[in-house]
Amino acid sequence: MIPFDEALERVLAIAKPLGAEEVPLAEAHGRVLAAPITALVSAPPADVSAMDGYAVREGDLAALPATLPIAGESFAGRGHHGGIEPGTCVRIFTGAPVPPGADRVIVQEVVRREGDTAVFEAALSPARHIRAAGSDFRAGDVLLDSGTLLGPRQLVAAAAADLDRLTVARRPKVMVLSTGDELAEPGTASHRAQAIPESVSFGVAAMAEAWGASFMGSVTLADRLEDMVRAAGLALRDADLVVVTGGASVGEKDFAKPMFAEQGLELVFSKVAIKPGKPVWLGHARGRLVLGLPGNPTSAMVTARLFLAPLVAGLVGRDPRAALRWRSLQLADGLPPTGDRETFARGIIEGETVRVLSNQDSSAQKTLADCDMLVRLVPGRAAVEAGGRVDVLDF
């Protein structure tokens, strides 16, 4: 059994990207760039108007009021042909190319139009209302670096670079194997004596997907080693990461590790000194990763948040430490001393404080649904008074 921080460092050491692939721009949301985005075009491609108004030569407005004939119109995507002759103006709209020779746009609100002429009377504004060519970026500029998580704003920049396909880190394929004779598919447990609904795989799958994995599916297995060995082999054939839930203690039917023995399982760690979740383990088998989580729902989800989330984050190309951003909050109520294992209590945010929930049982599922924070309590910590500060992690 190893300390939490040591186990976490071992996870971070192997949480590396799995390679790269190209995807259409429309499918890139939530992906991580595996290559920088370099602009193929400049933005704007030419000097363009920042306002609706009239493009003019400033010298023609040296004496006000001035009346200038309107020589044409310039629209976005359909500019005025030719330049602007001295003593004339061009009607222009936002985003439209500024005709050569024009050096200012006068906003339409201060111009009076009389037929085919425009009358300028107001004093000139300090603003010229022209966006210079390449003032946002130029062709060849790097707009987004490798490792960038592509959200809505980043996709705008990628599209503006005139790219229709992006090189991104490959998403790890995750399979969940839930083990236990007592487990039944949700919707069927009430029809079978001593059965309980298999619930953990749904939370694990959602967490893996939330951090960028591609969920392949789950299989519920009874505690029969032969069947479990077969399922392990099939899972390792297709998945990059296999998550096993249950069967991680020392009972006669605890086959979570033995089911991978034929696949050459090599452990990274086998137990961690934390509460809940001591039986959590991580290993390699056939070049794939295998993460073993406890069967109790709270234990499984706490360990998934602490180990699965950073593992997947690293595999998809993100900084795995982005999944472990602790912050300090005040306690709403006091807490008793911590035991000899690092403890992750479930709590909820109340204003600027965190309240630890009363039911900390490792199998509690309602408390699991109610909480939104993990409160980290180091081993051997003395009692904490209300108002004391603790480290918390979004859960």
What does the pLDDT read at residue 215?
Answer: 98
Give the pLDDT confidence of 305-323 residue by residue, as tens digits.
999 999 999 999 999 999 9
Residue 335, judged by CB atoms within 10 A of its CB (0-12, 13-18, 19+), counts as: buried
Compute CA distances 204 → 182, 279, 317, 344, whole Å.
19, 16, 20, 18
Q: One-letter amino acid identity for 379?
A: P
Q: What is the pLDDT, as a whole number, of residue 254?
A: 79
Q: Where are the domains of the chain?
A: 4-17+171-323, 20-43+136-169, 48-131, 327-394
| DSSP one-letter code for 154 | H
Q: Is the pLDDT of residue 250 over 80?
A: no
- pLDDT at residue 103 above 80? yes
- For 134, phi then psi, to 5°, come to 70, 10
Cα–Cα distance for residue pair 209/309, rounded to 1 Å: 9
pLDDT at 291: 98
Contact 346, 368 (CB under 8 A): yes
Q: What is the pLDDT of residues 218-238, one digit of tens each?
A: 999 999 999 999 999 999 999
27 has pLDDT over 70? yes
> Is the pLDDT confidence value at 249 over 90?
no
**Is the distance from CB of 244 to CB of 300 less than 8 angstroms?**
no
Homologous superfamily, domain 48-131? Molybdopterin biosynthesis moea protein, domain 3. (2.170.190.11)
**Whether domain 4-17+171-323 has CATH 3.40.50.620:** no
Mean pLDDT value across residues 57-72: 97
Longest CA–CA span in the chain (Å) reads 98
Q: Is the pLDDT of residue 240 over 90?
A: yes
Q: Are 54 and 88 spatial neighbours (Cβ–Cβ below 8 Å)?
A: no
**DSSP state letter for 307:** I
Measured CA to CA, the distance from residue 357 to residue 349 in angstroms comes to 10
Phi and psi dihedrals of 53, rounded to 5? Answer: 175, -135
Tell me which CATH code domain 20-43+136-169 carries.
Answer: 3.90.105.10
User: How confident is residue 76, by pLDDT bands cut at 50, 70 and 90?
Assistant: very high
Which helix H or strand E contains 368, and what residues bound it? Answer: helix 366-370
- Of the listed ranges 61-70, 246-255, 316-325, the least confidently predicted one is 246-255
Can you give the pTM of this predicted structure? 0.87
Residue 335's closest CA among 347, 350, 351? 347
Q: What integer is the mean pLDDT of 86-102?
A: 98
pLDDT tens-digit readout, 151-198: 999 999 999 999 999 999 999 999 999 999 999 899 998 989 999 999
Separation in Å, CA 186 to CA 154, 190, 201, 271, 289 = 39, 9, 11, 30, 28
User: Residues 4, 272: contact at Cβ < 8 Å?
Assistant: yes
Superfamily of domain 327-394: MoeA, C-terminal, domain IV (2.40.340.10)
Average pLDDT over residues 232-258: 86
pLDDT averaged over every residue in the chain:
96
Percentage of the chain modeled with pLDDT above 70 = 98
